[in-house]
Amino acid sequence: MDFQLNEEQGMFKDTVRRLMDDNCSFDIRAAVIATGSFNAAHWQLFAEQGLLGLALPDSCDGLGYSTIETALVMEEMGRVLFIEPYWPIAVLAAQTLLASRDERHLGLLQRLSAGELKPVLAHEEFCARGRLSHVSTRAKSAAPGTWILNGKKTAVIAGNIADKLIISARTAGNDDDNHGISLFLVDPSSPGLTLDPHRLVDNRWAAEIDISGLCVTEENLVGELNLGFQALEHAHAHALVALCAEAVGVMEQAMWITRDYLKIRKQFGQPLSNFQSLQHRMSDMLIEVELSRGMVHMGLASLDLPTAERSRALSAMKAHIGKSGQFVCGQAIQLHGGIGVTEEYSIGHYFKRMTLINTALGSSMFHYEQLAAMAQHKSAKMLEAVSA
């Protein structure tokens, strides 16, 4: 299998890198954070470059590119610690709307591609702990075609600047059932919704959302009633690969920053890069970065596989990259010493971002548990087959 980029993909990656370097450097990051981690001029620029509709089809005014190009964009964003909500809007929310196959909302994706609309998925709940099917927010039928929603959503990334919220709620079944989840598109200012914006440790903004007596109708329904899990599963698979691609960019840049620091920092009259023990540490960091890149390749290749095989591959990818990312960025802090944890120096921010990536969409520990459960289930099925 050839993992090399073709000429068009190489040119595309170079273009995105220049765009990030020219507009999203670490020096201007603080100003963007102060405005809620969103810059309207940047967002319009990304729309004009086609990045917001990168993986959307022509019918949605998108470029029709694959998840590979999305991963290339996310890797470059990780390299510069891109702070704006590209991932929650242009990947997670966009793929959720696309997978719902609801033609009524085609215009939303067109407006998203043009930078005119910022929809955000509000699905994560405090007790979910990575379980995609866990939805305790309830939608109680009040009349034919009308529901009343009650519940809470936590750590909704970019919820502070959302124009629309895609809220998952349970219209049937128990809290952890796949069936019975429905998606509703609502305005953040709707009666019954309370948003509490806050800043995360990596300086991105999120919101806690309290839902109490929110009235929705069939016009708010996204996709089919009770079948929202399929759209969530599709979107989260693409978002997980994109997030891990960003992690590779974060790790790689943290490694190069550390290498450059070791070359100029002197101890006992010579650069730290001359010490063999530190060279070994840098070698270990490089190995983990390249292993993680390979896991992203595996994740990309798994998106077209049957659900069980895809889930296994994606969990292996996230488990490995979360662990490797903590190692690489942790070593970067260690090798920098005290300056590595200062707010003014960049390397500490790479560690913080990697920490948040590790917890998003299920931590490494959660995905290791998933892999163990899948292996146990497979072994049980094999024993049953042998016994029969």
pLDDT tens digits, 59-109: 898 998 999 999 999 999 999 999 999 999 999 999 999 999 888 888 899
Overall pTM > 0.95: no
Phi, psi of 156 (to 5 degrees): -80, 100
| pLDDT surpassing 70 at residue 387 | no
Q: pLDDT band at 5, cuts 50/70/90?
A: confident
Neighbours of 190 (CB within 10 A): 15
Region 219-243 average pLDDT: 94
pLDDT value at residue 183: 96
Give the lowest-confidence range in 2-11, 36-45, 156-165: 2-11
Distances (CA, A) of 210 to 123, 156, 309: 12, 11, 36
Q: Which residue has the higher pLDDT, 3 or 165?
A: 165
Q: Taking all residues of the chain, what is their mean pLDDT, rounded to a whole number? A: 91
Instruction: Judge whether residue 386 has pLDDT over 60.
Output: no
Q: Which residues contact 99 (CB under 8 A, 6 or more apart)?
A: 223, 230, 231, 234, 235
What pLDDT, on the 0 to 100 scale, is given for residue 270?
Answer: 85
Q: What is the pLDDT of residue 152?
A: 96
pLDDT for the residue numbered 76: 95
Q: Which domains does the chain have, with CATH numbers?
A: 7-116 (1.10.540.10), 120-228 (2.40.110.10), 230-387 (1.20.140.10)
Mean pLDDT to the nearest integer, 243-258: 95
Lowest mean pLDDT among 49-53, 86-90, 255-259, 274-278: 274-278
Candidate from 22-26, 230-234, 243-247 with smallest mean pLDDT: 22-26
Q: How confident is the model at residue 275 (pLDDT cuts 50, 70, 90)?
A: confident
Please determine, for residue 383, whether its predicted confidence score (pLDDT) is greater than 80.
no
Residue 119 scores a pLDDT above 70:
yes
| pLDDT, average across residues 99-121 | 91
Q: Is 70 exposed, middle or buried (0-12, 13-18, 19+ CB in 10 A)?
A: buried
Quick: pLDDT tens for 303-347. 999 988 999 999 999 999 999 999 999 999 999 888 888 888 889
**Distance, CA of 142 to CA of 42 (rounded, Å):** 43
pLDDT at 388: 58
Asked if pLDDT for residue 2 goes beyond 80, the answer is no
Question: How does residue 4 score in pLDDT terms, banded at 50, 70 and 90?
Answer: confident
What pLDDT sits at residue 323? 94
Asked whether the beta carbons of 161 and 205 are under 8 A apart, the reply is yes
**Given this model, what pLDDT does residue 31 score?**
86
Q: What is the pLDDT of residues 343-382, one digit of tens each?
A: 888 899 999 999 999 999 998 999 999 999 888 876 666 5
Residue 378: its pLDDT value, please? 67
pLDDT for 379: 64
- pLDDT bin (cut points 50, 70, 90) of residue 234 is very high
Cα–Cα distance measured from residue 371 to residue 378, given in angstroms and rounded to the nearest whole number: 10
Of residues 214 and 387, which shows the higher confidence score? 214
For the stretch 139-189, pLDDT in tens is 999 888 899 999 999 999 999 999 999 999 999 999 999 999 999 999 999
pLDDT grade, residue 385 (50/70/90)?
low
Give mean pLDDT, residues 228-237.
95
Q: What is the pLDDT of residue 374?
A: 86
User: Is the distance from CB of 47 to CB of 115 less than 8 angstroms?
Assistant: yes
pLDDT of residue 104: 83
